[in-house]
Protein backbone atom coordinates (compact mmCIF):
# COMPACT_ATOMS: atom_id res chain seq x y z
CA UNK A 1 0.00 0.00 0.00
CA UNK A 2 1.46 3.33 -1.06
CA UNK A 3 2.16 6.01 1.49
CA UNK A 4 -0.93 8.26 1.54
CA UNK A 5 1.11 11.47 1.72
CA UNK A 6 3.11 10.41 -1.32
CA UNK A 7 0.00 9.30 -3.18
CA UNK A 8 -1.83 12.55 -2.46
CA UNK A 9 1.18 14.66 -3.43
CA UNK A 10 1.67 12.69 -6.63
CA UNK A 11 -2.01 13.28 -7.42
CA UNK A 12 -1.69 17.02 -6.78
CA UNK A 13 1.44 17.29 -8.93
CA UNK A 14 -0.08 15.28 -11.77
CA UNK A 15 -3.17 17.43 -11.88
CA UNK A 16 -1.77 20.85 -11.03
CA UNK A 17 1.22 20.34 -13.29
CA UNK A 18 2.76 17.77 -15.56
CA UNK A 19 3.72 15.27 -12.89
CA UNK A 20 7.08 15.00 -11.24
CA UNK A 21 10.02 12.73 -10.62
CA UNK A 22 9.89 10.57 -7.53
CA UNK A 23 12.50 12.78 -5.85
CA UNK A 24 10.37 15.85 -6.42
CA UNK A 25 7.22 14.13 -5.16
CA UNK A 26 8.94 13.11 -1.94
CA UNK A 27 10.45 16.56 -1.42
CA UNK A 28 7.08 18.21 -1.89
CA UNK A 29 5.38 15.67 0.37
CA UNK A 30 7.87 16.53 3.10
CA UNK A 31 7.06 20.18 2.55
CA UNK A 32 3.35 19.47 2.95
CA UNK A 33 0.21 19.78 0.85
CA UNK A 34 -0.68 23.29 1.92
CA UNK A 35 2.75 24.79 1.35
CA UNK A 36 3.03 23.09 -2.01
CA UNK A 37 -0.39 24.35 -3.00
CA UNK A 38 0.48 27.89 -1.90
CA UNK A 39 3.57 27.75 -4.10
CA UNK A 40 1.53 26.51 -7.03
CA UNK A 41 -1.07 29.22 -6.59
CA UNK A 42 1.61 31.91 -6.37
CA UNK A 43 3.75 31.24 -9.44
CA UNK A 44 5.65 34.50 -9.00
CA UNK A 45 7.15 32.99 -5.85
CA UNK A 46 8.84 30.36 -8.00
CA UNK A 47 11.81 30.85 -10.36
CA UNK A 48 11.14 31.45 -14.03
CA UNK A 49 12.58 29.64 -17.05
CA UNK A 50 15.91 31.21 -17.97
CA UNK A 51 14.89 32.57 -21.36
CA UNK A 52 18.33 33.87 -22.23
CA UNK A 53 19.69 30.33 -22.10
CA UNK A 54 16.77 29.01 -24.11
CA UNK A 55 17.46 31.56 -26.85
CA UNK A 56 21.21 31.06 -26.50
CA UNK A 57 21.01 27.46 -27.64
CA UNK A 58 17.84 27.77 -29.69
CA UNK A 59 18.22 31.21 -31.25
CA UNK A 60 15.62 30.29 -33.84
CA UNK A 61 12.92 30.35 -31.13
CA UNK A 62 13.02 34.13 -31.25
CA UNK A 63 9.96 35.34 -33.12
CA UNK A 64 9.94 32.10 -35.04
CA UNK A 65 7.39 31.82 -37.80
CA UNK A 66 7.72 28.04 -37.72
CA UNK A 67 4.97 26.51 -35.62
CA UNK A 68 7.28 23.59 -34.85
CA UNK A 69 9.73 25.86 -33.04
CA UNK A 70 6.96 27.35 -30.96
CA UNK A 71 5.52 23.97 -29.99
CA UNK A 72 9.00 22.75 -29.16
CA UNK A 73 9.65 25.80 -26.97
CA UNK A 74 6.33 25.26 -25.22
CA UNK A 75 7.07 21.62 -24.48
CA UNK A 76 10.41 22.67 -23.01
CA UNK A 77 8.55 25.03 -20.69
CA UNK A 78 6.00 22.39 -19.69
CA UNK A 79 8.82 20.05 -18.72
CA UNK A 80 11.03 22.54 -16.98
CA UNK A 81 9.13 25.44 -15.52
CA UNK A 82 9.01 25.44 -11.72
CA UNK A 83 5.69 27.27 -12.18
CA UNK A 84 3.82 24.11 -13.03
CA UNK A 85 0.27 25.27 -12.31
CA UNK A 86 0.84 28.40 -14.35
CA UNK A 87 1.84 26.24 -17.31
CA UNK A 88 -1.06 23.87 -16.76
CA UNK A 89 -3.41 26.85 -16.83
CA UNK A 90 -1.69 28.04 -19.98
CA UNK A 91 -2.67 24.74 -21.62
CA UNK A 92 -6.14 25.01 -20.06
CA UNK A 93 -6.86 28.33 -21.78
CA UNK A 94 -5.34 27.13 -25.04
CA UNK A 95 -7.86 24.30 -24.96
CA UNK A 96 -10.76 26.73 -24.43
CA UNK A 97 -9.79 29.96 -26.18
CA UNK A 98 -8.98 28.10 -29.34
CA UNK A 99 -7.16 29.61 -32.26
CA UNK A 100 -5.14 27.53 -34.65
CA UNK A 101 -2.11 27.73 -36.82
CA UNK A 102 -4.01 26.21 -39.73
CA UNK A 103 -5.57 29.61 -40.28
CA UNK A 104 -3.26 32.01 -38.47
CA UNK A 105 -0.22 30.66 -40.31
CA UNK A 106 2.19 32.28 -37.91
CA UNK A 107 3.85 30.19 -35.27
CA UNK A 108 4.99 33.32 -33.54
CA UNK A 109 1.45 34.64 -33.12
CA UNK A 110 0.37 31.30 -31.69
CA UNK A 111 3.33 31.46 -29.35
CA UNK A 112 2.39 34.98 -28.30
CA UNK A 113 -1.15 33.90 -27.51
CA UNK A 114 0.12 31.03 -25.38
CA UNK A 115 2.50 33.43 -23.64
CA UNK A 116 -0.46 35.69 -22.87
CA UNK A 117 -2.30 32.74 -21.30
CA UNK A 118 0.84 32.01 -19.28
CA UNK A 119 1.14 35.53 -18.01
CA UNK A 120 -2.50 36.24 -17.29
CA UNK A 121 -4.22 32.87 -17.07
CA UNK A 122 -4.29 32.82 -13.28
CA UNK A 123 -5.37 36.41 -12.87
CA UNK A 124 -8.64 38.23 -13.27
CA UNK A 125 -11.04 36.78 -15.83
CA UNK A 126 -12.25 40.20 -16.97
CA UNK A 127 -8.67 41.15 -17.71
CA UNK A 128 -7.98 37.85 -19.47
CA UNK A 129 -11.00 37.98 -21.73
CA UNK A 130 -10.22 41.58 -22.61
CA UNK A 131 -6.72 40.49 -23.63
CA UNK A 132 -8.25 37.69 -25.65
CA UNK A 133 -10.59 40.15 -27.36
CA UNK A 134 -7.65 42.36 -28.26
CA UNK A 135 -5.40 39.50 -29.28
CA UNK A 136 -4.57 40.12 -32.93
CA UNK A 137 -4.31 36.38 -33.50
CA UNK A 138 -7.82 35.78 -32.20
CA UNK A 139 -9.24 38.77 -34.06
CA UNK A 140 -7.94 37.26 -37.26
CA UNK A 141 -8.78 33.65 -36.44
CA UNK A 142 -12.43 34.38 -35.74
CA UNK A 143 -12.85 36.89 -38.56
CA UNK A 144 -13.30 40.00 -36.47
CA UNK A 145 -10.85 41.64 -38.84
CA UNK A 146 -13.60 41.12 -41.42
CA UNK A 147 -16.35 42.57 -39.22
CA UNK A 148 -17.29 46.11 -40.12
CA UNK A 149 -19.87 48.68 -39.15
CA UNK A 150 -21.64 48.21 -42.46
CA UNK A 151 -21.06 44.46 -42.77
CA UNK A 152 -20.98 42.67 -39.45
CA UNK A 153 -19.30 39.29 -39.18
CA UNK A 154 -20.77 37.47 -36.19
CA UNK A 155 -18.11 34.82 -35.76
CA UNK A 156 -16.20 36.27 -32.82
CA UNK A 157 -19.34 37.57 -31.15
CA UNK A 158 -20.94 34.14 -31.31
CA UNK A 159 -17.92 32.15 -30.11
CA UNK A 160 -17.21 34.63 -27.35
CA UNK A 161 -20.61 33.76 -25.89
CA UNK A 162 -20.89 30.08 -26.78
CA UNK A 163 -17.35 28.84 -26.24
CA UNK A 164 -15.37 31.50 -24.40
CA UNK A 165 -17.64 32.70 -21.59
CA UNK A 166 -21.32 31.88 -21.07
CA UNK A 167 -21.74 28.57 -22.81
CA UNK A 168 -24.90 27.71 -24.70
CA UNK A 169 -26.93 26.98 -21.59
CA UNK A 170 -27.16 25.73 -18.04
CA UNK A 171 -29.80 24.16 -15.86
CA UNK A 172 -31.76 23.40 -19.03
CA UNK A 173 -32.03 27.10 -19.92
CA UNK A 174 -30.35 28.93 -22.80
CA UNK A 175 -27.79 31.49 -21.73
CA UNK A 176 -28.27 33.91 -24.62
CA UNK A 177 -30.36 34.46 -27.72
CA UNK A 178 -29.58 35.00 -31.36
CA UNK A 179 -30.27 38.70 -30.83
CA UNK A 180 -27.60 38.78 -28.15
CA UNK A 181 -25.10 37.32 -30.62
CA UNK A 182 -25.92 40.04 -33.13
CA UNK A 183 -25.65 42.79 -30.53
CA UNK A 184 -22.37 41.37 -29.29
CA UNK A 185 -20.92 41.22 -32.81
CA UNK A 186 -22.00 44.83 -33.49
CA UNK A 187 -20.26 45.94 -30.29
CA UNK A 188 -16.99 44.42 -31.48
CA UNK A 189 -16.97 46.08 -34.88
CA UNK A 190 -13.83 48.15 -35.31
CA UNK A 191 -11.80 45.75 -33.13
CA UNK A 192 -9.22 45.03 -35.76
CA UNK A 193 -5.53 44.60 -36.55
CA UNK A 194 -2.92 46.95 -37.95
CA UNK A 195 -1.19 45.86 -41.17
CA UNK A 196 1.79 43.60 -40.52
CA UNK A 197 4.88 42.73 -42.53
CA UNK A 198 4.62 39.52 -44.58
CA UNK A 199 6.93 36.56 -43.98
CA UNK A 200 9.16 37.49 -46.90
CA UNK A 201 11.80 38.72 -47.27
CA UNK A 202 12.76 39.49 -43.62
CA UNK A 203 10.19 37.77 -41.44
CA UNK A 204 6.81 38.75 -40.12
CA UNK A 205 6.41 41.63 -37.74
CA UNK A 206 4.42 41.02 -34.56
CA UNK A 207 0.74 41.59 -35.17
CA UNK A 208 -0.85 44.57 -33.43
CA UNK A 209 -4.44 45.05 -32.30
CA UNK A 210 -5.97 48.33 -33.47
CA UNK A 211 -9.36 49.81 -32.65
CA UNK A 212 -10.84 51.75 -35.53
CA UNK A 213 -13.59 54.06 -34.22
CA UNK A 214 -14.67 54.92 -37.75
CA UNK A 215 -15.52 51.26 -38.35
CA UNK A 216 -17.32 50.77 -35.04
CA UNK A 217 -21.08 50.58 -34.72
CA UNK A 218 -21.80 52.85 -31.76
CA UNK A 219 -25.55 52.59 -32.05
CA UNK A 220 -27.80 51.40 -29.26
CA UNK A 221 -27.82 47.66 -28.58
CA UNK A 222 -29.65 45.37 -26.21
CA UNK A 223 -27.44 42.66 -24.83
CA UNK A 224 -28.56 40.18 -22.18
CA UNK A 225 -31.34 42.55 -21.22
CA UNK A 226 -29.20 45.67 -20.91
CA UNK A 227 -29.53 48.48 -23.44
CA UNK A 228 -26.97 51.10 -24.38
CA UNK A 229 -24.44 52.15 -27.04
CA UNK A 230 -22.27 49.22 -26.08
CA UNK A 231 -18.69 48.79 -27.18
CA UNK A 232 -16.79 45.53 -26.73
CA UNK A 233 -15.61 46.66 -23.29
CA UNK A 234 -19.19 47.02 -22.09
CA UNK A 235 -20.08 43.60 -23.46
CA UNK A 236 -17.22 42.03 -21.48
CA UNK A 237 -18.42 43.77 -18.32
CA UNK A 238 -21.91 42.37 -18.81
CA UNK A 239 -20.59 38.90 -19.60
CA UNK A 240 -18.41 38.72 -16.51
CA UNK A 241 -21.25 39.41 -14.11
CA UNK A 242 -23.41 36.58 -15.46
CA UNK A 243 -23.94 33.48 -13.30
CA UNK A 244 -23.55 31.51 -16.53
CA UNK A 245 -19.95 32.70 -16.85
CA UNK A 246 -19.15 31.53 -13.34
CA UNK A 247 -20.74 28.16 -14.13
CA UNK A 248 -18.86 27.95 -17.43
CA UNK A 249 -15.50 28.51 -15.74
CA UNK A 250 -16.22 26.23 -12.81
CA UNK A 251 -17.26 23.34 -15.04
CA UNK A 252 -14.25 23.74 -17.26
CA UNK A 253 -11.93 23.80 -14.24
CA UNK A 254 -13.63 20.75 -12.78
CA UNK A 255 -13.35 18.84 -16.04
CA UNK A 256 -9.68 19.78 -16.42
CA UNK A 257 -8.48 19.26 -12.86
CA UNK A 258 -10.87 16.95 -11.04
CA UNK A 259 -12.72 14.46 -13.21
CA UNK A 260 -13.78 13.97 -16.81
CA UNK A 261 -17.17 15.60 -17.33
CA UNK A 262 -19.61 15.86 -20.20
CA UNK A 263 -18.33 18.01 -23.06
CA UNK A 264 -19.43 21.60 -23.39
CA UNK A 265 -22.21 21.12 -25.98
CA UNK A 266 -24.01 18.92 -23.44
CA UNK A 267 -23.81 21.29 -20.49
CA UNK A 268 -27.26 22.83 -20.93
CA UNK A 269 -28.94 19.51 -20.35
CA UNK A 270 -26.34 17.65 -18.32
CA UNK A 271 -25.99 18.83 -14.73
CA UNK A 272 -22.53 19.04 -13.12
CA UNK A 273 -21.20 15.91 -11.44
CA UNK A 274 -20.58 17.72 -8.18
CA UNK A 275 -22.86 20.71 -7.94
CA UNK A 276 -21.67 21.61 -4.43
CA UNK A 277 -18.08 22.08 -5.52
CA UNK A 278 -19.14 23.90 -8.68
CA UNK A 279 -21.20 26.33 -6.62
CA UNK A 280 -18.32 26.91 -4.22
CA UNK A 281 -16.13 27.86 -7.16
CA UNK A 282 -18.86 30.10 -8.55
CA UNK A 283 -19.04 31.86 -5.21
CA UNK A 284 -15.26 32.32 -5.18
CA UNK A 285 -15.50 33.84 -8.66
CA UNK A 286 -17.94 36.52 -7.57
CA UNK A 287 -16.51 37.06 -4.06
CA UNK A 288 -13.06 37.69 -5.48
CA UNK A 289 -14.14 39.93 -8.34
CA UNK A 290 -13.59 37.25 -11.02
CA UNK A 291 -10.23 35.96 -9.81
CA UNK A 292 -9.24 32.63 -11.40
CA UNK A 293 -6.71 31.76 -8.71
CA UNK A 294 -9.39 31.99 -6.02
CA UNK A 295 -11.48 29.45 -7.91
CA UNK A 296 -8.43 27.18 -8.12
CA UNK A 297 -7.83 27.58 -4.39
CA UNK A 298 -11.31 26.28 -3.66
CA UNK A 299 -10.88 23.41 -6.09
CA UNK A 300 -7.54 22.16 -4.81
CA UNK A 301 -8.57 22.49 -1.16
CA UNK A 302 -11.80 20.57 -1.68
CA UNK A 303 -12.31 17.10 -0.24
CA UNK A 304 -13.50 16.04 -3.66
CA UNK A 305 -10.17 16.82 -5.25
CA UNK A 306 -8.23 15.09 -2.49
CA UNK A 307 -10.39 11.99 -2.42
CA UNK A 308 -9.11 8.69 -3.70
CA UNK A 309 -12.17 8.33 -5.89
CA UNK A 310 -10.93 10.92 -8.41
CA UNK A 311 -7.35 9.65 -8.62
CA UNK A 312 -6.51 7.91 -11.88
CA UNK A 313 -10.06 8.60 -12.96
CA UNK A 314 -9.20 11.11 -15.64
CA UNK A 315 -7.72 10.29 -19.05
CA UNK A 316 -4.41 12.05 -19.64
CA UNK A 317 -4.35 14.46 -22.54
CA UNK A 318 -1.57 13.81 -25.07
CA UNK A 319 0.34 16.83 -23.79
CA UNK A 320 0.15 15.34 -20.31
CA UNK A 321 1.32 11.97 -21.58
CA UNK A 322 4.38 13.49 -23.24
CA UNK A 323 5.38 16.16 -20.74
CA UNK A 324 4.49 13.93 -17.80
CA UNK A 325 6.54 10.99 -19.04
CA UNK A 326 9.52 13.22 -19.80
CA UNK A 327 9.35 14.69 -16.31
CA UNK A 328 9.07 11.25 -14.75
CA UNK A 329 12.10 9.90 -16.57
CA UNK A 330 13.94 13.24 -16.21
CA UNK A 331 14.68 13.64 -19.88
CA UNK A 332 15.15 17.06 -21.51
CA UNK A 333 15.50 18.72 -18.15
CA UNK A 334 18.32 20.72 -19.76
CA UNK A 335 18.55 22.38 -23.15
CA UNK A 336 19.75 19.87 -25.69
CA UNK A 337 19.14 18.41 -29.08
CA UNK A 338 16.26 16.06 -29.73
CA UNK A 339 13.27 17.86 -28.26
CA UNK A 340 11.70 18.39 -31.66
CA UNK A 341 10.78 14.74 -32.04
CA UNK A 342 9.13 14.68 -28.61
CA UNK A 343 7.25 17.88 -29.42
CA UNK A 344 5.58 16.15 -32.35
CA UNK A 345 4.30 13.27 -30.24
CA UNK A 346 1.13 14.97 -28.92
CA UNK A 347 0.09 15.43 -32.54
CA UNK A 348 0.50 11.72 -33.23
CA UNK A 349 -1.71 11.10 -30.18
CA UNK A 350 -4.46 13.41 -31.45
CA UNK A 351 -3.48 16.76 -29.94
CA UNK A 352 -1.83 19.04 -32.46
CA UNK A 353 -0.72 21.73 -30.05
CA UNK A 354 -1.31 25.30 -31.25
CA UNK A 355 -3.54 23.88 -33.93
CA UNK A 356 -6.81 22.65 -32.39
CA UNK A 357 -9.25 20.97 -34.76
CA UNK A 358 -11.98 23.60 -34.38
CA UNK A 359 -12.76 26.63 -32.25
CA UNK A 360 -14.45 24.21 -29.86
CA UNK A 361 -11.06 22.66 -29.24
CA UNK A 362 -10.36 19.08 -28.37
CA UNK A 363 -12.91 16.87 -26.73
CA UNK A 364 -11.35 15.36 -23.64
CA UNK A 365 -11.75 12.29 -21.47
CA UNK A 366 -12.20 9.00 -23.24
CA UNK A 367 -12.39 10.80 -26.56
CA UNK A 368 -8.59 11.03 -26.43
CA UNK A 369 -8.44 7.30 -26.94
CA UNK A 370 -8.89 5.39 -30.14
CA UNK A 371 -7.10 2.37 -31.53
CA UNK A 372 -4.45 4.53 -33.20
CA UNK A 373 -3.79 7.02 -30.44
CA UNK A 374 -3.73 4.31 -27.78
CA UNK A 375 -0.89 2.55 -29.54
CA UNK A 376 1.02 5.84 -29.84
CA UNK A 377 0.51 6.61 -26.15
CA UNK A 378 1.66 3.18 -25.03
CA UNK A 379 4.65 3.05 -27.37
CA UNK A 380 5.81 6.50 -26.39
CA UNK A 381 5.65 5.96 -22.65
CA UNK A 382 7.05 2.44 -22.74
CA UNK A 383 9.98 3.50 -24.94
CA UNK A 384 11.01 6.07 -22.39
CA UNK A 385 10.26 4.09 -19.25
CA UNK A 386 12.14 1.14 -20.67
CA UNK A 387 15.24 3.23 -21.33
CA UNK A 388 17.27 2.41 -18.24
CA UNK A 389 19.93 4.96 -19.20
CA UNK A 390 17.63 7.89 -18.52
CA UNK A 391 18.32 9.58 -15.20
CA UNK A 392 14.79 9.32 -13.86
CA UNK A 393 14.56 5.61 -14.71
CA UNK A 394 17.95 4.98 -13.18
CA UNK A 395 16.81 6.75 -10.03
CA UNK A 396 13.69 4.59 -9.78
CA UNK A 397 15.74 1.43 -10.23
CA UNK A 398 18.14 2.50 -7.50
CA UNK A 399 15.21 3.15 -5.19
CA UNK A 400 13.83 -0.27 -5.94
CA UNK A 401 17.19 -1.87 -5.18
CA UNK A 402 17.32 -0.06 -1.87
CA UNK A 403 14.14 -1.87 -0.81
CA UNK A 404 15.98 -5.12 -0.16
CA UNK A 405 18.75 -7.42 -1.21
CA UNK A 406 16.18 -9.77 -2.64
CA UNK A 407 12.74 -8.88 -3.96
CA UNK A 408 10.00 -11.40 -4.49
CA UNK A 409 8.01 -11.02 -7.73
CA UNK A 410 5.08 -9.62 -5.73
CA UNK A 411 7.23 -7.07 -3.91
CA UNK A 412 8.92 -6.19 -7.17
CA UNK A 413 5.65 -5.51 -8.99
CA UNK A 414 4.20 -3.51 -6.12
CA UNK A 415 7.42 -1.53 -5.89
CA UNK A 416 7.32 -0.66 -9.58
CA UNK A 417 3.67 0.38 -9.36
CA UNK A 418 4.45 2.51 -6.34
CA UNK A 419 7.44 4.25 -7.90
CA UNK A 420 5.79 5.00 -11.23
CA UNK A 421 2.66 6.46 -9.63
CA UNK A 422 1.90 5.41 -7.05
CA UNK A 423 -0.55 3.72 -9.35
CA UNK A 424 -3.19 1.16 -8.44
CA UNK A 425 -4.12 -1.46 -11.02
CA UNK A 426 -7.00 -3.91 -10.83
CA UNK A 427 -6.40 -7.34 -9.40
CA UNK A 428 -6.39 -9.05 -12.77
CA UNK A 429 -3.73 -6.71 -14.14
CA UNK A 430 -1.59 -7.09 -11.04
CA UNK A 431 -1.83 -10.87 -11.29
CA UNK A 432 -0.64 -10.74 -14.88
CA UNK A 433 2.30 -8.56 -13.94
CA UNK A 434 3.22 -10.81 -11.03
CA UNK A 435 2.91 -13.90 -13.22
CA UNK A 436 5.34 -12.36 -15.66
CA UNK A 437 7.79 -11.47 -12.90
CA UNK A 438 7.55 -14.98 -11.46
CA UNK A 439 8.92 -16.46 -14.65
CA UNK A 440 12.39 -15.25 -13.70
CA UNK A 441 11.98 -15.58 -9.94
CA UNK A 442 13.24 -13.27 -7.21
CA UNK A 443 15.37 -10.26 -8.08
CA UNK A 444 18.80 -9.69 -6.56
CA UNK A 445 21.47 -7.08 -7.12
CA UNK A 446 24.52 -8.36 -5.25
CA UNK A 447 26.74 -9.11 -8.21
CA UNK A 448 27.23 -7.11 -11.33
CA UNK A 449 25.35 -9.65 -13.45
CA UNK A 450 22.47 -9.59 -10.94
CA UNK A 451 22.43 -5.80 -11.11
CA UNK A 452 22.32 -5.94 -14.86
CA UNK A 453 19.46 -8.44 -14.74
CA UNK A 454 17.65 -6.38 -12.09
CA UNK A 455 17.94 -3.27 -14.29
CA UNK A 456 16.74 -5.07 -17.39
CA UNK A 457 13.77 -6.65 -15.64
CA UNK A 458 12.76 -3.39 -14.01
CA UNK A 459 12.84 -1.54 -17.32
CA UNK A 460 10.74 -4.32 -18.79
CA UNK A 461 8.25 -4.13 -15.91
CA UNK A 462 8.01 -0.35 -16.29
CA UNK A 463 7.19 -0.90 -19.95
CA UNK A 464 4.47 -3.38 -19.05
CA UNK A 465 2.96 -0.95 -16.56
CA UNK A 466 3.05 1.76 -19.21
CA UNK A 467 0.94 -0.61 -21.32
CA UNK A 468 -1.80 -1.02 -18.73
CA UNK A 469 -5.14 0.70 -19.04
CA UNK A 470 -4.55 2.39 -15.70
CA UNK A 471 -1.45 4.18 -16.95
CA UNK A 472 -3.61 6.12 -19.42
CA UNK A 473 -5.28 7.86 -16.52
CA UNK A 474 -3.99 10.44 -14.13
Partner 1 sequence: MSTHFFGLNDRSFAYSHSVGRNEFSGTGFRNPVDMAVGDNDVMYVVNRGYEYRTDGVHISVVTLSEEYITEFGSYGAGPGQFVWPTSIALDAQGNVYLADEWLNRISVFNGEGEFLRSWPDGFDGGASDDASGRMIAYGSGPDIPAGKSGSGDGELDRPAGIVISKDGTMFVTDSRNHRVQKFTLDGKFLGKFGTFGSGPGQLNMPWGIALGKEGNVFVADWRNDRIQQFTADGKWLASFGQSGDGVGQFNRPNGVCVDDDGDIYVADWLNNRVQVLAPDGRFVTALKGDHVLSQWGKDKLNSNPDMIRQRALAYSHNPGYEKSFNHPCAVKIDGQGRLAVLDHFGGRIQVYTKSKDPVLV
Write out the residues near partner 1 by the rule CB under 8 A.
52, 55-60, 62-64, 66, 68-69, 72, 194-203, 205, 336-341, 344
> Which residue lies nearer to partner 1 by CB, 376 or 474?
376
Whichever of 51 and 178 has its CB closer to partner 1, that residue is 51
- What pairs with residue 210 in β-bridges? 192
Nearer to partner 1, 195 or 428 (CB): 195
Task: Give the nearest distance from C-beta 203 to partner 1 in angstroms.
Answer: 6
User: Shortest Cβ distance from residue 395 to partner 1 (Å)?
Assistant: 21
Query: Which is closer to partner 1, CB of 197 or CB of 431?
Result: 197
**4 or 389: whose CB is closer to partner 1?**
389
Nearer to partner 1, 126 or 342 (CB): 342
| CB of 63 vs partner 1, minimal distance in Å | 5
Least separation in angstroms between CB 134 and partner 1:
17
Q: Least distance to partner 1 from the beta carbon of 338, Å?
A: 4
Min dist. Cβ of residue 334 to partner 1 (A) = 11
CB of 387 to partner 1, least distance (A): 11
- Closer to partner 1 by Cβ: residue 80 or 293: 80
Minimum distance from CB of 347 to partner 1 (Å)? 11
**Cα–Cα distance, 238 to 234 (Å, whole number):** 6
Under 8 Å between Cβ of 80 and 87:
no
C-beta closer to partner 1: residue 347 or 399: 347
Cis peptide before 170 (omega within 30 of 0): no
Amino acid sequence: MADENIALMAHLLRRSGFGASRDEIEAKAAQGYQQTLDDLLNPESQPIIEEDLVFRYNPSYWQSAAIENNVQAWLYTMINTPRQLQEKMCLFWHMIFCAGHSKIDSGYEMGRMVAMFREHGMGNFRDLIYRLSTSPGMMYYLDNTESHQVAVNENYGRELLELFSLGAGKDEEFNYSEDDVKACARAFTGWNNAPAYPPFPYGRSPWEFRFDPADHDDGEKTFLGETGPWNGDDILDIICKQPATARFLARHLYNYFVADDAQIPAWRLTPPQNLDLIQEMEKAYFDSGYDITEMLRVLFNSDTFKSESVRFAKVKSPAEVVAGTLRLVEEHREIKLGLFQHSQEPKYMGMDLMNPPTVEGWHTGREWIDSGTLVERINYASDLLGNTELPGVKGLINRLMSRGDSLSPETFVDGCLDLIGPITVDDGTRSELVAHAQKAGDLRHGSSSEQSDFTRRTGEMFQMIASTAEFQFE
